[in-house]
Amino acid sequence: MSKRGWLLFSAMGVIWGIPYLLIKVADGGVSVPVLVFTRTALGALLFLPVALRGGYLPALKGHVRWLAAFTLVEIVGPWALLSSAEKRLPSSTTGLMVAAVPIFAALLAWLTRDGDQLTLIRWTGLAVGLAGVAVLAGPDAGHGDTLPVIEVLLTALGYALGPWIANRKLADLPPVAVNTVCLGAAAVIYAPFAALTWPRAVPSVEVLLSLAGLGVICTAAAFLIFFRLIAEVGPARATVITYVNPAIAVALGVIVLNEHLTATIGVAFVLILGGSILATRAGSARTARTGAGRDTEPVRSNLVL
């Protein structure tokens, strides 16, 4: 890749590795509905002028049902579940467990008979990756509480279902318009719940900066940078950041929040990342979707964290 490509790649690796840290900090000062509402509202407001100036919104007409489905499984559910789980789980644990998304995606492709067939190597990757998830989901992962572990796994499942919908039902729509409407709809859904749980006192500076970072940097800025990365290095190389983000999440949790880097996290890290790489290797029996499917990569990827 070019120097510009490496710079953009590095930026995305960091940007999509920090949401877990910011969510953990924001969780300490605001409720889950307030957190999700703030992030989605900021992202939608920043995208809206671009969508209006470009005249992209009319293209969404007739796709309300699938836009709603995408919003629910990719944003409304996962962002609330992840924020709730981080009230009881370390950010490093959640960041690493969400890295199992490619494993869930491979299982979904197999169940729906869509994409490449599962070869022996890919089956091995699935087994290894799921073993890593099992290590993290063990008795000590949630300090005796299995609910946050289930919440993170449901988040990962939602992040796998979202791209499946985007690839098949939203492939021809402008990504800017899709993100504007989906984020805006999520903000509207959470607005009444956020109003009911709005903090009585102004949160700390750390919490306010974390909320701003989630909406401005991890959503809006990430969207713009990822588009430039795809234009520079292509969609295939751009998605390799999936294997970089968990390392950033774990490192930030340990360095900034003083979370413990245990042997369990180390073993799970190797298993999940190694399994994801093997499980997503291209097969030879059937070729993956191309063309329109690749065009939707920015739509699904910028909303995954």
pTM: predicted TM-score of the whole model, two decimal places: 0.82
Cα–Cα distance for residue pair 290/286, rounded to 1 Å: 12
pLDDT tier at 11, thresholds 50, 70, 90? confident
pLDDT at residue 89 is higher than 70: yes
Least confident of 96-105, 169-178, 195-204, 276-285: 276-285
pLDDT tier at 282, thresholds 50, 70, 90? low
With beta carbons less than 8 A apart as the criterion, state whether 254 and 97 touch.
no
Q: Where are the domains of the chain?
A: 3-301
Averaged over 119-143, what is the pLDDT?
Answer: 76
- % of the chain exceeding 70 in pLDDT: 84
With beta carbons less than 8 A apart as the criterion, state whether 12 and 225 touch.
yes
Given this model, what pLDDT does residue 236 score? Answer: 56
pLDDT at residue 6 is higher than 70: yes
How far is residue 3 CA from its own chain's centroid? 26
Closest CA to 93 of 305, 262, 297: 262
Annotate 198-251 with DSSP letters as a single string. --SSPPPHHHHHHHHIIIIIIIIIHHHHHHHHHHHH-HHHHGGGGGTHHHHHHH
pLDDT tier at 93, thresholds 50, 70, 90? confident
Closest CA to 219 of 31, 37, 58, 85: 37
pLDDT at residue 286 is higher than 80: no
* pLDDT tens figures, 216-275: 999 888 877 876 776 777 655 666 666 778 888 888 998 998 888 888 888 888 888 888
What integer best gives the mean pLDDT of the chain?
82
Question: Between 219 and 276, where is the model more confident?
Answer: 219
pLDDT tier at 277, thresholds 50, 70, 90? confident
* pLDDT tens figures, 15-69: 888 999 999 999 999 999 999 999 999 999 999 999 999 999 999 999 999 999 9
